[in-house]
């Protein structure tokens, strides 16, 4: 498979419909170059002669419709060529979506809205990326909506968000150059606060609908929605809720016949539900690896890919910010104030008193100005981490992407923590 190995790297010759898969070893980087032919990474065409750099843990697949020659330099954990891929079926899925866009354009109606569902580690986010990139390559601008709060593909973990994919994503950086619309959830699983999760999914769908009303291009291009791998019990109900909130017309189920059968039974008839195979290249991640990926995503927010960004650490007085948490601890119905039910509690904005327990937590900086705004449903504009607390001085040190002052003073506390160590 590997044609040639020397100090200059290892060369791989791919024929049409081959896929070169590689994983970068921990603490290593791999530089990849396409020497000849045509190839793509998750739907984005590669530029011949450009050196693409991938850091530790990256799992990459170069697919070619026509054949190409690839050179890898650096330590890979695995690197092999596979001839068995679901790419043709993924391409057909894209073609079906594109036909819906053409029709929407002609009839001045809404373009496709597709939700991708399935267990964890079947390539849901990857399929979203491929479909968005293929759409963008045809001059469309699909919206990528990410409901996977555990990984945070549009922003950081603990958020739900969306972005408009006007150009194919960069193979090295994914969508990190685009500014997403994000809402604060604060936890890594929807199950930690189902009421808040449903509210935010509906809010996100609403905002996207407003955007579609304003822009014909967005409306026609449609929406690709990523979900998390929680597909049983309440998780299944969350998928149905999301499908309803976004008024989807297509559901792509990856690698789960049972889920496919259930959704066909439970969703309205006009929704087309298709079952797609998973790629053999998708690597199963342990709980640990997933936690590491979450951490890496937050690190990337502050430090950039390859440490290309320089975050700032500065002190803020307790009095300079207002800190809240969304969702109060559960109380028995009998203890609730008159007219309030337990569900309201889950979306309630609760003030947080500064204490040592805030250390290392991630905080969203809300776009809201004060508690008078509807903080729960207001988008967030950035994130900080509290890296030190001085109770005597009544001040925190925060890690922030930009220098003092914070752009707004309403901070929302996440369950998620980040240790700022290299």
Annotated binding site: which residue ranges?
A: 19, 59, 121-126
Size (the chain), residues: 422
Omega cis (within 30) before 227: no
Taking CB atoms, the residue at the shortest distance from ligand ADP is 281
Identify the residue among 32, 61, 81, 380 touching ligand ADP (CB under 6 A): 61
DSSP structure class, residue 301: H
412 contributes a contact to ligand ADP by CB under 6 A: no
Identify the residue among 45, 121, 192, 373 touching ligand ADP (CB under 6 A): 121
Binding piece for ligand ADP, criterion CB under 6 A, among 122-130, 162-170, 266-274, 337-345: 122-130
Identify the residue among 10, 55, 125, 219 touching ligand ADP (CB under 6 A): 125
Binding piece for ligand ADP, criterion CB under 6 A, among 31-39, 116-124, 304-312, 358-366: 116-124
Ranges within 216-245 binding ligand ADP (CB under 6 A)? 229
Alpha carbon separation from 5 to 12, 14, 51, 148, 210 (Å, rounded): 9, 15, 18, 40, 54
DSSP structure class, residue 353: -
126 contributes a contact to ligand ADP by CB under 6 A: yes
What tokens does 191 get? 């199950």
**R_g of the chain computed on alpha carbons:** 22
Nearest to 348 by CA among 329, 369, 378, 326: 326
Q: Could you tell me which residues are beta bridge partners of residue 53?
A: 31
Instruction: For residues 379 and 217, give the distance between their C-alpha atoms in angstroms, rounded to a whole number.
Output: 23
The distance of closest approach from Cβ of residue 85 to ligand ADP in the complex, given in angstroms and rounded to an integer, is: 6
The distance of closest approach from Cβ of residue 59 to ligand ADP in the complex, given in angstroms and rounded to an integer, is: 4
How many residues sit in the footprint of ligand ADP (CB under 6 A)?
16
Q: Where are the beta strands (DSSP E) in 210-360?
A: 223-226, 250-254, 272-276, 312-317, 322-326, 349-351
59 contributes a contact to ligand ADP by CB under 6 A: yes
136 contributes a contact to ligand ADP by CB under 6 A: no
Identify the residue among 89, 283, 291, 359 touching ligand ADP (CB under 6 A): 283
Identify the residue among 123, 161, 171, 186 touching ligand ADP (CB under 6 A): 123
Binding piece for ligand ADP, criterion CB under 6 A, among 115-123, 322-330, 360-368, 414-422: 115-123
The distance of closest approach from Cβ of residue 281 to ligand ADP in the complex, given in angstroms and rounded to an integer, is: 2
Q: Decide: residue 121, CB within 10 A, 0-12 exposed, 13-18 middle, 19+ buried.
A: middle
281 contributes a contact to ligand ADP by CB under 6 A: yes
Q: Give the residue ranges of DSSP H helices in 79-193.
A: 87-107, 124-137
Q: Within 10 A of 170 (CB to CB), how many other CB atoms are there?
A: 15
- Choice between 119 and 304, CB closer to ligand ADP: 119
Nearest to 375 by CA among 323, 330, 328: 323
- Choice between 123 and 382, CB closer to ligand ADP: 123
Q: Which residues bind ligand ADP (CB under 6 A)?
A: 19, 21, 59, 61, 120-126, 229, 279, 281-283
């Amino acid at each position: 498979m590997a044609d040639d190995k020397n100090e200059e790297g290892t060369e791989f010759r791919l024929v049409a419909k081959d896929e070169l898969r590689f994983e970068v070893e921990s603490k290593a980087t791999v530089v990849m170059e396409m020497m000849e032919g045509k190839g793509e990474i998750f739907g984005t065409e590669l530029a011949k002669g450009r050196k693409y750099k991938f850091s530790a843990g990256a799992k990459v697949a170069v697919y070619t419709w026509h054949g190409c020659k690839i050179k890898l330099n650096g330590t890979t954990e695995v690197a092999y060529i596979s001839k068995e891929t679901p790419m043709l079926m993924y391409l057909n899925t894209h073609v079906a979506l594109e036909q819906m866009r053409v029709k929407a354009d002609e009839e001045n109606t809404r373009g496709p809205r597709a939700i991708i569902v399935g267990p964890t580690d079947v390539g849901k986010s990857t399929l979203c990326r491929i479909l968005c990139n293929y759409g963008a390559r045809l001059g469309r601008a699909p919206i990528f909506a990410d409901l996977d709060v555990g990984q945070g593909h549009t922003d950081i973990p603990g958020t739900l968000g969306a972005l408009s994919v006007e150009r194919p994503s960069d193979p090295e950086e994914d969508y990190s150059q685009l500014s997403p619309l994000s809402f604060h959830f604060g936890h890594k699983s929807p199950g930690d606060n189902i009421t808040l999760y449903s509210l935010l999914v509906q809010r996100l769908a609403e905002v996207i609908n407003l955007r579609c009303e304003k822009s014909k291009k967005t409306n026609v291009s449609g929406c690709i929605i990523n979900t998390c791998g929680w597909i049983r019990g309440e998780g299944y109900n969350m998928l149905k809720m999301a499908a309803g909130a976004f008024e989807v017309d297509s559901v792509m189920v990856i690698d789960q016949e049972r889920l496919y059968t259930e959704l066909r039974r439970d969703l309205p008839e006009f929704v087309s539900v298709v079952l797609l195979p998973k790629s053999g290249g998708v690597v199963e991640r342990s709980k640990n690896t997933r936690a590491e990926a979450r951490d890496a995503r937050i690190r990337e927010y502050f430090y950039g890919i390859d440490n290309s960004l320089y975050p700032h650490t500065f002190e803020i007085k307790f009095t300079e910010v207002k800190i809240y948490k969304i969702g109060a601890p559960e109380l028995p119905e009998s203890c609730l104030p008159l007219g309030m039910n337990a569900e309201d509690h889950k979306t309630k904005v609760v003030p947080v008193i500064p204490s040592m327990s805030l250390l290392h937590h991630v905080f969203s900086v809300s776009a809201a100005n004060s508690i008078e705004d509807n903080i729960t449903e207001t988008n967030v504009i950035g994130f900080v981490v509290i890296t030190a607390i001085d109770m005597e001085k009544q001040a925190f040190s925060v890690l922030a992407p930009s220098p003092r002052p914070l752009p707004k003073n309403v901070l929302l506390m996440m369950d998620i923590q980040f240790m700022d160590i290299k």
